[in-house]
Structure 1
Amino acid sequence: MPDTRKVTASIKENVAYMNQVLPVEESFDIVQREMTVGGREASFYFINGFVNDESMLKIMDSLFGVKAENMPGSVTAFVKECIPYVEVNVIGDFDQVFRNLLSGTACFFVDGYEACIVIDCRSYPARSVDEPDKDKSLRGSRDGFVETIVFNTALMRRRIRDSHLVMQMLEVGESSRTDVAVCYMSDRVDKELLDNVMSRLKSIRTDALRMNQQSLAECLFKRKWFNPFPKFKFTERPDTAAVCLLEGKVVIMVDNSPSAMILPTSVFDIIEEANDYYFPTLTGIYLKITRGLIALMTVFLTPVFLLFMQNLNWLPKVFAFVAVKDTVNIPLIFQLLLLEIAIDGLRLAALNTPNMLSTPLSVIAGLVMGEFSVASGWFNSEVMLYMAFVAVANYTQPNFELGYALKFMRLLLLVLTAMFNWIGFLAGCIIVICSICFNKTLSGRSYLNVKLN
């Protein structure tokens, strides 16, 4: 519940209430600094590690130089005449005081002033804006989003020097009060979509965005669990986000998250990557077509192979060489499913392997598990070949969620084909098509076609 109590002119009452609500004595990082300014009692509250020590030193040095006879009569005049800093605000209720303090600003109380002075000299811990590991470009900029929302919005503002670029800041979460920035071009955005997004954001009632953007995405759109295709596009590249803004889309940034959420989106937007913008039109179209064909192959290659192995009489003589030559000790369907799980296991192992051990362990996994699993009779070489292609081809997709959505569709096709032969394969194809065609975006539009103003 919001704190409706107002700041009073008594420094003692204000300090007593602040110390009652905040664990000043228990928490080492919540600092209270008492001082005398112009012959009056004053008190600073700030979070250790968030304020810029150099700026605070200069501000305090200026405050110590204020004499009693020069003290202004109002808090507004005091801010204008005695605080030599750019970002200063005056607030009168404790709810806003606590929000500002816990977000990193310094709150300053002076006896006799019926308001709190908020000085925004925050200095968040942040890493450098290096190019993201997942979304790289061959000929693009080499910067990327970080976990600090102010840096991320600045990276986009640097690319779009237009007065129509609007960045609205909201707070989501009763406990976390996470900063969420909604970015759009006011002259290009779809007004209906923007109103829909803003109303959904303002109506969110949750305790905290525990997993940042993923939690926000789940609050914005309650998608059906059985449809794995992503509803949003995520990017860690500011140039990609800037291009989407200029196309009339809405970009949502969440503090503590190094990626931007882009909407509305379609399946064609999701398979795009940064290189598509940096190459000539013909090259970009070729890359998109290639990526689309490889995506289709990752879904249908192994199910089609399984279907023909179950119906060898369907196999044309030209492609007779693809048939399994060696003895099949384990049914092909179980070989394919085991390899699907093994590939995910290797991927998880790679994520948790120290960098110094990644190369030797990769050699062990590739040689020992690949060659000797075939030699021992567990797997057939043809199955290993096709699954190796699928494992590598999954990385052609820039979107991680889309890669797993295609994987789930492939598993569904494999199981249905193994159980019901060609009827199961046909039913699986219908399910895949329906999952894409009837998937709706946040705006309620088709997943296959997003129309912008």
Structure 2
Amino acid sequence: MKISKMIQENISYINEILPVKESFDIIERDMIIGGRESCFFFIDGFMKDEVMSKVMDTLFKLTPEEMPKTATELSRTMISYVEIDTFSEYDEIIKNILSGVSCLFVDGFESCIAIDCRTYPSRSVDEPAQDKSLRGSRDGFVETIVFNTALMRRRIRDPHLTMKMTEIGKSSRTDVALCYMSDRVDQNLLSLLTQKLESMQEEDLKMNQQSLAELLFKRKWYNPFPKFKYTERPDTAAACLLEGKIILLVDTSPSAMILPTSIFDMIEEANDYYFPTLTGIYLKISRGLITLMTIFLTPLFLLFMQNPQWIPEIFDFVLVRSTVNIPLYFQLLLLELSIDGLRLAALNTPSMLSTPLSVIAGIVMGEFSVQSGWFNSEIMLYMAFVAVANYTQPNFELGYALKFMRLLLLTLTALFDWIGFAAGCIIIVCSICFNRTVSGRSYLNIRRN
């Protein structure tokens, strides 16, 4: 629906659609510009006061003789600001007002002047807490999408770097940026993602990035391995762009979605690239081996305890010598649950209390639980290694996927001995090999574009 030349009709329509009278932050500012009735609509918390003061000062100085005949001419000759556009459709105007753009209606003009002088509340671009690097930059993504695109554009000064903006969600109208290198990207994957983004008819993205991930790829509940890699580091995102990957940025989310990805991409981190080649290769190999140990260490230990005759004499010391009051399988399950409980408690513990509570939890869980007879010291040792080793790879979702595989292997080993262990290994291998990413490739695909 197009706007009217009569400003009162436009004001009435905007007031009918937007709760201007009820919402304190939606401001209607009436004024006279060049002898004509005019009106500004804007969101109070999104506007730069200094910029708007200068723009309004210029407009107030216009005389009726200097007043242009059209909104386009006014925006080009009289308003000294960079980001200005004109709209004649109410839908576009409403969307811009709710996004924080200031919209100016002038009596007699068939278009509305949109002045994009908005600013969003944001924190500084500090290094992310979970994705740190010993070397390299110390900046990180924030919740404002324009800042995030600027951080990547600063690193890649190439005309092939393309960033397309789209909106998803009828209510939320969340901004989503599709970033890629046009000369390196997989064109088939790019077409697939573009088609999916344009065809989404969701009401809103309730959990921003996670909601978008669920819309892009309907995961199977029984396969917990993640389909996307996430990073809060602009240098990592820029490196992935130069490798031919696609980056998805969602407004209000301080991380980037990287695709396509494989399980080898999941266990990579920035430190692998900031060190010499030999050191980087060693870090990757050691991280991969430790990741495998987090899956197989405790199930193998349980298997050997069920079949002690398989243990060579030189490794006789691994046998549990003390009294076993609770079956080893249930000890391992209890410790798995306890570790998750400590992790959840750490997330909700005030920072000033985290250190003393961690010490108390370590003493209680370690020394006293063994002395009380609930757990054997060997079980505590192996589970402590697994708990610490989970943090050697940066992907949180992958850590829980590996945990579920470990629990499955433990259960099958406890029930069916070596046959269950072999069956569990086959299930794990199949879960990884037959897992498909968004692009349709195998989860083990390591090809670079």
TM-score, length-scaled by structure 2: 0.99
Instruction: Say whether 1:428 aligns with 2:419.
Output: no
Alignment partner of 1:139 is 2:135: yes
Partner of 1:304: 300
CA distance, structure 1, for counterparts of residue 124 and residue 237 of structure 2 = 18
Matched, 1:179 2:175: yes
SS at structure 1 position matched to 2:32:
strand
**SS of 1:357's equivalent?**
helix
Matched, 1:170 2:169: no
In the alignment, the residues of structure 2 paired with residue 204 and residue 356 of structure 1 have an alpha-carbon distance, to the nearest angstrom, of 45
Q: 1:375 aligns with which of 371, 375, 383?
A: 371
Corresponding residue for residue 361 of structure 1: 357
**Is 1:437 aligned to 2:404, yes or no?**
no
Answer yes or no: is 1:32 the counterpart of 2:28: yes
Q: Name the CA distance, whole Å, in 1 between partners of 2:202 and 2:310.
A: 56
Distance in 2 of aligned mates of 1:206 and 1:327: 58
The alignment covers a number of residue pairs equal to: 449
For 2:365 and 2:443, the matched residues in 1 are separated by: 40
Q: C-alpha separation between the residues in 2 aligned to 1:205 and 1:269?
A: 31
Counterparts of 2:132 and 2:323, CA distance in 1 = 43
- Residue identity matched to 1:282: L
Indicate if the aligned counterparts of 1:229 and 1:405 stay in contact, CA closer than 8 A: yes
Residue 51 of structure 2 corresponds to which residue in structure 1? 55
Alpha-carbon distance, 1:451 to partner:
3.2
Correspondence for 2:61 among 60, 65, 72: 65
Give me the whole-angstrom Cα distance separating, in 2, the residues matched to 1:229 and 1:156: 28
Seq. identity, %: 71
Between the aligned partners of 1:205 and 1:387, the Cα distance in structure 2 is 46
1:92 is aligned to 2:88: yes
Alignment match, 1:152? 148
Instruction: Return the offset for 1:450.
Output: 4.3
1:185-241 deviations in whole A, cap 9, x for unaligned?
Answer: 011111001001111111112111111111100000001110011111000000000
- CA separation in 2, counterparts of 1:206 and 1:431? 35
Residue pair 2:178, 2:246 contacting (<8 A) in 1 also: yes
Alpha-carbon distance in structure 1 between the residues aligned to 2:225 and 2:210: 14
Asked if 1:323 is matched to 2:316, the reply is no
1:335 is aligned, of 326, 331, 338, to 331
Match among 386, 402, 407 for residue 406 of structure 1:
402
Question: Which residue, out of 244, 250, 269, partners 1:248?
Answer: 244
Letter in 1 for 2:58: S
Q: 1:105 aligns with which of 93, 98, 101?
A: 101
1:116 aligns to 2:112 (yes or no): yes
Contact kept? 1:124, 1:148, Cα under 8 Å:
yes
Amino acid at match of 2:316: A
What aligned pairs does 1:245-324 form with structure 2 within 5 A after superposition?
245-324=241-320
Question: Which residue does 2:10 correspond to in 1?
Answer: 14
1:229 aligns with 2:257: no
Which runs of 4 or more aligned residues in structure 1 lie more than 3 Å from their structure 2 counterparts after TM superposition?
450-453
Q: CA RMSD in A?
A: 0.7
SS in 1 for 2:38: strand
Query: In the aligned structure 1, how far is the partner of 2:30 from the partner of 2:446?
Result: 58
Query: 1:446, CA displacement in angstroms?
Result: 0.7
**C-alpha contact 2:264 2:446 (8 A) present in aligned 1:** no
CA contact (8 A) 1:190 1:452 kept: no
- AA partner of residue 370 (structure 2): V
String of CA shifts for 1:424-448, please: whole Å, max 9, x gaps. 1111000000000000011101110
Name structure 2 gaps, 5 residues minimum.
none
1:80 Cα offset (Å): 1.2
Superposed CA deviations along residues 111-144 of structure 1, whole A, max 9, x for unmatched, are 0000111000011100000000000000110000
CA drift at 1:24: 0.4
Paired residues of 2:51 and 2:117 also in contact (CA < 8 A)? yes
Q: Distance in 2 between matches of 1:116 and 1:97?
A: 8
Q: For 2:247 and 2:170, how far apart are their aligned partners in 1?
A: 23
For 2:294, the aligned partner's letter is T
Native 8 Å contact 1:264 1:450 kept in 2? no
The offset of 1:75, in angstroms, is: 1.2
- How far is 1:452 from its partner? 4.0
1: CA distance between counterparts of 2:178 and 2:86?
25
Kept in 2, the 8 Å contact 1:176–1:207? The answer is yes
Letter in 1 for 2:241: L
Indicate conservation of the 8 Å contact 2:43/2:98, yes or no: yes
Once the two structures are overlaid, the 10-residue window that deviates more, 153-162 or 201-210, is: 201-210
**Which of residues 432, 442, 447 in structure 2 aligns to 1:446?**
442
